[in-house]
Amino acid sequence: MGCNQPTNTQGGVSSTSSTASQVGIDFLEQGGNAFDAIVATGFTLAVTSPSNGNLGGGGFLVAYTKDGGAVSLDFREEAPALSYETMFLDENDEYSRELALNSHKSSGVPGTVNGLVKIFNDYGSGNFTLEEIMAPAIHYAENGYHISSTTASGLDYYKSLFLNDRGATEIFVKEIDNTILGLQKALKDGSISKEDYAKELAKIDQWKKGDLLVQIDLANTLKRIAKNGSAGFYEGETAELIIQEMNTNDGFITKKDLLNYDSVYRNPVQGTYRGNKVISMGPPSSGGALLIQMLNMIENFDIKSMERNSSRFVHLLTEVQRLAYADRAIHLGDPDFWPNPIPMLTSKDYAKERLSLISMDSATRSTEIAAGKALSKESVETTHYSVMDNQGNVVGITTTLNMSYGSKKVVDGAGFLLNNEMDDFSSKPGTANAFGLIGYKANAIQPFKRPLSSMSPTVVIDNEGNPIVTIGAAGGSRIITAVLQNIISIIDHELDIQQAIDFPRTHSQWLPDNLRYEKDALTQQTISELEALNHIFEHSGTVENGVYSLAQTHGVHFKDNKFITGFDKRGTYDENEGITY
Ligand code: GLY
C-alpha cells in the first residue's frame, strides 16, 4: 500500500487519499463494479481529505460503461433562490473577495450527496447497500483517521480563518492555547494587523502527521445519508442544521433550495484525437469543450516530432490555450440559462479557423484575441478520483469546495465544510475571480444557475472501442491544461500515466496574458527562446516551497494489458500519500 505505481489486472483506483483509494479497492475485490468503488471512495474522501473531499460541495462524473454508453452527471452547486447578480459587489460597486470567498453567502446549494447517491442507485452493481458502501467513511469519521503531513500543514495554515467559525474551530483547530489567545487579544486591541495575525497563527505548528482526526458530527451526518439516501442530507436533521447555519450567519440557502436540488445527466462533450474518442464534461463545466477544442487544434501539428517542452512545443500550447480560454470567457455558462455553442467550439473546422489567428513565429497578445463569433473561471481545492474495473466500466469524478477547505465554515452539528463555489460565477463583467478567470453575461449570477467550472473528468477510448484512460485534475483554471498535457503525453509521446503526470507542465489562460511553468519544465535557454517569441512569463508563484503547483492529476491507464494508476505528488508532502492498485 502507498507506493506510487503498483499495477495489476483487476482494476485500478486513484485518488488523493490512500485510505479512500483502499476503500474503493476493497469494493472492487468484493465483487463491486467501478461505480460502487468510486462512490465508496468519494464518501471516504469527505472524511480523509478534508481540504477538498466533500459533502458540502459539488462535482461532475464522466463515465464509459461496459455496454458502451458515455455518461455525464452534473452535481455542481446551484445558486440559491435569494442570490442576485451584484451580490458580491461592495458599496463602491467593486468585487468583494471577502464576501465572495469567506462568507456564508459564498456557498451554492451543495450537490455532492445527491450526485453520489444517484450514481450508486443508477450504476452500482446491486451487490451492496448504500449503508455497506458508506460504512468505511462512517468508520473513519467516527473512529478517526491518521492525518497526512499535507493535511497537518493545511490545517495549521488556515487557523486564522477556522477561528472565525465555531464549527471549524471545534474540528480543525487542535487547541486554543495561550499563544492563540494572546494573538486574538492583540488583534482585538489593534496592536497587530489582520495580515500579521494570520501569518503568526499559521506559524504555530499544532498538527503532526499521524495525529488522529475524529469527526463525530460528520459521522452522524453520514449515517443519516446511509440510512435515507439523499433525503438524509437535503431533508430532516441535516437540512435543519444547514438552514440554522445559514440563518445565523446571513447565508442564502433555504429549505426550499435544498429540497429543489437535483443532479442532472447531461450530454457529455465528445471529440476525437488522432482516432481516439475523447469523452469529457460539458457545461456547466468549460473543461470538456476547451479540452476538445485544444486537442482539435493540436491535432494539426506533428507533436510527436516536437521535443517535449521545447520552445516550439510550449509556444504552440500557449497559443492554443490563449484561443480556447478567450472562448471560455464569452461563450460558456450553465446550459439551462445560456446557449453554449458546443458544436462550434468542438468542431475540427472551427479549430482550423482559430489556428489562422496565430503564428508559430511570434506570440499573439491576448488583447488581440477575441472569442470566436458564435452562430447563434486552487491552491488545489478540488479533487479528482478515477476507477477502472475489469468489466469495462471506466469512471472519473471531480468534486470541489472551490478553495481549500471551502469557505472554512462548518455546518454546526453536521460536521462538514461549506463550499465557496459562488465565486466561480463572474461577479462583475471582466473582473477576475480567485483563479484569475474573467467572465461576462454567460456566467453572471442568477438564482438556480450553476457556476461555470473548469473541472474536466475525461475518458479516452481507443479506435477499437477499448477504454484506455480515465483522468482528471484539481487546480481551478489549470485543470484543463493539465489534462490536455497528460493526454498528449499518453497518446503522442506514449508515456504511461505516472510518467505523464510526473512530467513538468506549463499553463496559460488568455488573461492574464502570461505563461506559467513548473520547476524543471523549462531550461533557461527555452525561456530565452520563448521570450524572443514575445511570451511574457509569470515566474513567481509557480513553485511554492519546492512543491509543484500547476494542478494535481489522478487517473487510471490501461496499457499493455494491465491497469496502471497515476498519482500526482504536486501539493503533497507525503511521498506515499496516494494509493494505486
Ligand atoms: N472551483 C473550481 C472549478 O470548478 O473550476
317-342 burial, b if ≥16 CB within 10 A, otherwise e? bbbbbbbbbbbbbbbbbbbebbebbb
| Ligand 1 touching residue 454 (CB < 6 A) | yes
Cβ(61)–Cβ(266) below 8 Å: no
Terminal alpha carbon distance of the chain: 8
Alpha carbon separation from 387 to 74, 392, 571 (Å, rounded): 18, 11, 21
Q: How far is the CA of 453 from the centre of ligand 1 (A)?
A: 4
* CA distance to 301, 341, 429, per residue, from 441 (Å): 34, 15, 7
Query: pLDDT digits over 277-334, tens only?
Result: 999 999 999 999 999 999 999 999 999 999 999 999 999 999 999 999 999 989 999 9
382 lines ligand 1 (CB under 6 A): yes
Q: Candidates 419, 455, 480, 507: which one to mutate for ligand 1, based on the most atoms within 8 Å of Cβ?
A: 455
Output the pLDDT for position 162: 97
Is the CB of 400 inside a 6 Å radius of any atom of ligand 1?
yes
> Which pLDDT belongs to residue 332?
95
Determine contact, residues 136/40, Cβ cutoff 8 Å.
yes
Dist. CA 72 → ligand 1 center (Å)? 17
- Domain architecture of the chain: domains with CATH: 149-213 (no CATH), 271-380+454-573 (1.10.246.130)
* Residue from 15, 20, 75 nearest 48 by CA: 20
Q: Which helix (H) or strand (E) holds 271?
A: strand 269-273
**CA 31 – ligand 1 centroid, Å:** 34
Among residues 221, 254, 346, 382, which one is catalytic?
Answer: 382
> What is the grid cell recorded at 318?
500557449
CA–CA distance, 459 with 466 (Å, rounded to integer): 11
d(CA 67, CA 249): 48
The pTM (predicted TM-score) of the whole model is: 0.94
pLDDT at 125: 98
Give me the torsion for CA of 283, 287, 291, 293, rounded to 10°: 40
- How far does the centroid of ligand 1 lie from the alpha carbon of residue 278, in Å? 21
Residue whose CA is at the smallest distance from ligand 1 atom 3: 453
Distance from Cα 402 to the centre of ligand 1, integer Å: 6
Atom 2 of ligand 1 has which residue's CA nearest to it? 476
**Active-site residue, 458 included:** no
Check residue 429 and give its pLDDT.
Answer: 83
pLDDT digits (tens, 9 = 90+) for 90-103: 999 999 999 999 99
Cα separation of 122 and 481, whole Å? 31
Strand partners, 63: 71, 395
- Quote the pLDDT of residue 573: 62
Q: Measured from the CA of 421, which atom of ligand 1 is nearest? A: 1
For ligand 1, is residue 455 a contact (CB within 6 Å)? yes
Q: Are 400 and 406 in contact (CB under 8 A)?
A: no
Residue at grid coordinates 450526485? 115
Residues of the chain short of pLDDT 50, as ranges, are 1-7, 375-378, 542, 544-547, 575-581
At residue 2, the pLDDT reads 30
What local confidence, expressed as pLDDT, does residue 373 receive? 66
| Residue entry with cell 520552445 | 311
Output the CA torsion sign for 480, 509, 382, 432. negative
The strand pair at 547-548 and 543-544 is best described as: antiparallel
Q: What order of strands is seen across the sheet that includes strand 458-461?
A: 7-8, 562-566, 552-559, 467-474, 458-461, 276-280, 269-273
